[in-house]
Amino acid sequence: MIAVVDYGVGNLFSLTCSLAAAGARAEVTSDADRILSADGVILPGVGAFGDARDKLRFSGLESAVNEVAASGRPLLGICLGMQMLFERSLEYGVHEGLGLLKGEVVPFRLPAEYKIPHMGWNSLRFVKDNPLLRYVKQGEYVYYVHSYYASDCDDSVAAVSEYGGVTVPGLVGKDNVFGTQFHPEKSGAVGMNILRAFKELCEAK
């Protein structure tokens, strides 16, 4: 079973529908015991970093997420959930992240002709092998919606997209901790293939 962490932030319905379509048995839960007993865990998130970080902490689920990461079971952060895997964010101040991956989250500084947020379809360029890319082809498109991106995180970056002269880390991973800045649940067949690969990782553990 894949546990989707419900801490009050995230588009959980579309994510669980996509997981089901990918053949995964998923459960949305705010129960730490269910999270700790899962084969793998997804940390979703939309909105502001500081608010989401507080909600994760005050929900009492932060320690469960950290314990899953330490256990070696697959953990996947999506969009804001990916950003929280890093050491800190500079969104409206400085906010501490979970520190599971090295790097920080910074705002876009773009030429005037580029809109913020970075929203819509963009292609992936692979820079490192990653098990979540096993069914994805170089140059395939995924769907983004974000105004901040991960920086100084070269050791974990597996695939990137280009936007306004910025190389955006689209998919990251180190050991059993993974993240997608894009939304796989909104990325059609490509996103489905990424979720299928994550499901298979969870089943292998």
Q: What domain range includes position 159?
A: 2-204
Domain count of the fold of the chain: 1
- The residues assigned a catalytic role are 79, 183, 185
The secondary structure of residue 55, as a DSSP letter, is: H
Instruction: Using DSSP bridges, classify how beta strands 148-151 and 166-174 pair: parallel, antiparallel or unpaired.
Output: unpaired
Amino acid at 113: E
Contact between 91 and 107 under an 8 Å Cβ cutoff? The reply is: yes
Instruction: Tell me the pLDDT of the chain (205 aa) as tens digits.
Output: 999 999 988 778 899 999 999 999 999 999 999 999 999 999 998 889 999 999 999 999 999 999 999 999 999 999 999 999 999 999 999 999 999 999 999 999 999 999 999 999 999 999 999 999 999 999 999 999 999 999 999 999 999 999 999 999 999 999 999 999 999 999 999 999 999 999 999 999 7
CATH number of the CATH domain containing 192: 3.40.50.880
What is the distance in angstroms between the CA of the first residue and the CA of the last residue of the chain?
Answer: 11
